Amino acid sequence: MAAAPPAYLIAELDIHDAEAYQKYREGVPATLLPYGGRFLVRGGQVGALEGDAPTRVVVLAFPNMGEARRWYESPAYQAILPQRLKAAKSRAYFVEGVA
């Protein structure tokens, strides 16, 4: 049986409340640990090639889609999610990687 492919969460953010976003940002790392999640991209310079670039991009890697979804639905992450929703206009989505 083949191993499940990795999964990624991609978030595109336009932050309008930096202070509130910072509180959210500080809380995320601890929520990732139980699900094998880690940052691949956490801010940094964004350059638009086609269309408009968001002000911030975050990419998280997980061992598989199940762990990614369990993290997102976890009580620990759901407790801090409202901070991000309040602080930034965002799009977030999961994408399955290549095995």
**CATH number of the CATH domain containing 23:** 3.30.70.100
* Per-residue pLDDT at 99: 84
Contact (Cβ atoms closer than 8 angstroms) between residue 27 and residue 82: no
Domain span at 86: 7-96
**Chain mean pLDDT for the chain:** 95
Q: Does some domain include residue 42?
A: yes
Q: pTM to 2 decimals?
A: 0.92
Q: Does some domain include residue 55?
A: yes
Q: Where are the alpha helices (DSSP H) in the chain?
A: 18-32, 65-73, 75-87
Q: Does some domain include residue 2?
A: no
**Residues β-bridged to residue 15:** 88
Specify the number of domains making up the chain.
1
* Per-residue pLDDT at 96: 97
Q: Does some domain include residue 46?
A: yes
